[in-house]
Chains A and B, each alone.
Chain A
C-alpha cells in the first residue's frame, strides 16, 4: 500500500513538473524596459503624462499578445524611477535602473536639466535611450551616442513650419525675443531668429532674463517703444504666463505672443485681452482635434487612466508610438537585448501611429506636429507637416 502511494506521488510530481514546464513554455517572456521621469516636482507636468503614455502603450502591446522575437513571445515590463525634477536625483535614478542587467532600453525625461544629468550614465552604459528633452539634440548623432534617440522633433525640424504658420496667422513684421538665460535659449535663438528674418520679420531685440525671475517689469520695459507687433517667448509655462500677465500690466507692449513651448495654458485666462498666442504641440492636439485616430486614443486614455484630458495630456503621446516601434525593431533585429542591432532597425523606421513617426539615421524624430493658436478669444490648431 505504501509502495503504491509512493508511486502515485512520484507520478503526480512528474505530471506537475511537466505541466508547469508546458505552461511556462506557452507563457511569454518579459522584456524589462527602464522608465525615468520627473513624476514629482515642477517638471512633473511634462514627465507624468509621458509616463502614462508609456504604461498605456505597454499595456496595449501586452494585451494584444506581445511581440515575437526568434519564435518566442515577449511582453514588456516597466521598471520606473522618479527623477523628482532634480538633476542629482535623475542621475541616481538612471544609475539605479542601469544596475539592473536585464534593462537594455531606457525611456523618459522631457526636460533638459534632469535629462542631461541622466544622459551621462545612460550613455556610458551603452543601453538604448529614447528621451524627449531639448538638449538631447546636442548629444544625438555625436560619436559615442549612437544609441540615443529623441521622440520629439528637434527645434531645427519643428521651427520652420512653426515660424511659417505663426507669421501667416498673426502677420507679424517686427518681434522681440525674451527667454531665460540658459544654454537651451541660446540654441533656440540661433535656430528661430534667422528663420524669422529670412521670412521678412525684423528681430531688433533679443533679451535673456535670469532663470527664476518673478518680476519681469524691468526687462519688459526694454521692449516698449520699439514698434514691435509680437513677442517670441520661452519656454516654460510659468515664465510664459508671468510674461503675458505682466505685459498686460506694464502696458505699451505687443500682445501677440509666439511661445516656443508646449501649451496654450499660459494665455488661456488672458485670451480676451490679448491679440494672439501661438504654441507648439509637439505631439497631437487633443483639445480641438477632428482626427479619428487621435479621438480613439483619447477614449483609450480615459479608459486606462480614469482621467480626463488636460492641457498637458498630449505629452502622453511622446513615447506612445515609439514603444510600438521598439517592439517592431526588436522583431526585425531578432533580439531583445542587442541594443546596437535594435537601434539599427529603429533608425530609418517609419510608423503610422497616432503620430506619423519617423526616426532618421542619426536618431532624430521627424513627426508631424500641430500648432495651437488663441486668437480673437478662440482656441484652435493647425497641422504642420514636417518635410
Chain B
C-alpha cells in the first residue's frame, strides 16, 4: 500500500511541477504586470513543437529544451512590445486580443504542423528501481528539471538586481518607478521570462505526452486556476498550488476515478477559495 502511495505521489509531484512552471509564467505576467495573456497555453504548445522538431532534427533533447526557452522568450518579448503593451490600459482589449491570438496561433499550428499528435523521443527511457519502488527515469528527469527551473527562478528573484526590481514592482508599481525602476523595461523582461517558462514547460510536457496544436488549452486553464489558487502574483503560491493540483489529480485518478481527473483540482480550488479568498499565499496585496 505504502509503495503505491509513494509512486502515486511521485506521479503527482512530477506533473505538478509542470503545472507550476506554467502557473509561474501566468502569475508573473498577470499578477505583476497586469497583462492578461490567454495565449500563454499556446506558448507551451509552441515550445513543445520547437523541442520536438529540434529533437527530430537530431540535435537532441537538451538543445531542444534550450531553444524552446529562447524562442518563446523572444516571441513573448515581441508580443509584449507589439501587442500587449498597447492593451495595458484596457484589460478588456487585452483579453480580446489574447483570445484572438489563441485562435491565430492554434490554427496556424494546425495548418503548418497538421493536427496529428506527435510523440517526442525522450532523452531517457526505462525505469529506476529503488527496492520495490519503480519510477520512470524520464519522469524523474522532468521532476528534477522543473525543480531546478523553479529553484533557479526563485534565486534569480531573490539575488539579482533585476529580480529585486521585479519584487519592488510587485509591491508597488508606482513606488518602484519613483525609486528608479524602469517599469516598462522590467515589464517586458517579466513577459519574456514568463514566456520562456512556458517554452520550458512545453518542451518538458512534450517529452512525456503527445504534442498537438490543441494541447495548450489544458495547461492554460490549469495555469490560471493555480495562479488564483496560489494567490495572484505569488511565486511560492504558484509552486505549491501546482504540486497540490498534481497530487489531487494523481491520487484522485488512482484511488477514486480516472474519469473525473480534471474535476479534483477544481474541488480543491473551490474549497481553498471558500476559506482563503485570496488563495494560499495571497494577502491583501500579491507578493513575491
Quick one: given A208-B259, A214-B210, A242-B210, are A219 and B254 in contact (CB under 8 Å)?
yes
Contacts of A217 in B (CB 8 A): 11, 15, 136, 139, 250
- Are A209 and B138 closer than 8 Å at their CB atoms? no
**B116 interface contact, C-beta 8 A:** yes
The 0/1 profile, CB within 8 Å of A marked 1, for residues 111-153 of chain B is 0000111010000011100000010111100000000000000
Known: A210-B259, A213-B258, A213-B261. Contact between A218 and B218, CB under 8 A?
no
* Pair B119/A249 contact, Cβ less than 8 Å: no
Q: Which of B139, B218, B251 contacts A214 (CB 8 A)?
A: B218
In the bound complex, do residue A218 and residue B253 qualify as a contact, i.e. CB atoms below 8 Å apart? yes
The number of chain A residues with a CB under 8 A from chain B is 32
Task: For the complex formed, measure the closest distance between the CB of B205 and the CB atoms of chain A, giving whole angstroms.
Answer: 8
Residues of A220-255 whose CB lies within 8 A of B: 221-222, 237-238, 241-242, 245-246, 248-252
Question: When chains A and B are docked, how far (Å) is the Cα of A209 from the Cα of B194?
Answer: 32
In the complex, are the beta carbons of A210 and B250 less than 8 A apart? Answer: no
B136–A251 CB distance below 8 A: yes
Are B134 and A251 closer than 8 Å at their CB atoms?
Answer: yes
Q: Which residues of A contact B258 (CB under 8 A)?
A: 181, 207-210, 213, 218-219, 222
Q: State whether A218 and B139 are in contact (beta carbons under 8 Å apart), knowing that A208-B259, A250-B134, A251-B127 are contacts in the complex.
A: no
Q: What's the Cα separation between A213 and B262 when bound, in Å?
A: 9
Contact A221 B8 (CB under 8 A): yes
Q: Is the CB–CB distance between A42 and B119 below 8 Å?
A: no
Within 8 A of B (CB), among A247-286: 248-252, 269
Contacts A213-B261, A217-B139, A219-B254; is A252 near B134 (CB within 8 Å)?
yes
User: Please, how many angstroms separate the alpha-carbon atoms of A40 and B260 in the complex?
Assistant: 29
Q: Which residue of A lies closest to B7 (CB)?
A: A221
The verdict on B209 contacting chain A, using a C-beta distance below 8 Å, is yes
Q: Tell me whether A269 and B11 are in contact (CB under 8 A).
A: no
Bound complex: CA A341 to CA B4 (Å): 62
Contact between A210 and B262, CB atoms less than 8 A apart: yes
Contact A218 B117 (CB under 8 A): no
- Nearest-Cβ distance from residue B264 to partner chain A, whole angstroms: 10
B259 touches A215 (CB 8 A): no
Residues of B within 8 A of A222 (CB): 254, 258
Nearest-CB residue, chain B, relative to A238: B117
A218 and B259 contacting across the interface, CB-CB below 8 Å: no
- Specify the chain B residue showing the minimal Cβ separation from A237: B117
* Separation of A160 and B209 alpha carbons in the complex (Å): 33
Shortest distance from the beta carbon of B131 to any chain A beta carbon, whole Å = 13
